[in-house]
Amino acid sequence: MATPDSPDGPTPEELAKQRRYLRALLLAFERSETLLGEIHACETVRDAEVLLSERLGVDEDAASYVLAMQLRSFPRAQRRKVQARVDALEDSGA
């Protein structure tokens, strides 16, 4: 997510945001069987965001990110890539 003002790469804030979103996604993967049914029962996207925020213990921005990623379409290999990215971000201290 480099910007014209940061040609060397993402800022520490951008990396922290990325890590927060990916952690939320990993939590959703772990609970996908129950979460998918609950999400489908929601009347609105806003209801689903609030539900995910509460169930996963994440902020609503991260919950919105999880919804946008369409959790059910992720194969296991993609989940491993997400975990590897989270691990790399944590190892870098971001």
Average pLDDT, the chain: 86
Q: Is the pTM of this model over 0.85?
A: no
φ, ψ (nearest 5 deg) of residue 70: 50, 70
For 10-30, write each residue's pLDDT tens digit: 899 999 999 999 999 999 989
Most distant CA pair in the chain: distance in Å? Answer: 44
The string over 79-92, giving b where at least 16 C-beta atoms fall within 10 Å of a residue's C-beta and e elsewhere, is beebeeebeebeee
The domains of the chain are located at 12-91
Confidence of residue 1 (pLDDT cuts 50, 70, 90): very low
Q: What is the rounded average pLDDT of the residues 55-76?
A: 87
pLDDT at 2 (0 to 100): 45
pLDDT at 91 (0 to 100): 87
pLDDT at 14 (0 to 100): 93
CATH number 1.10.268.10 given to 12-91: yes
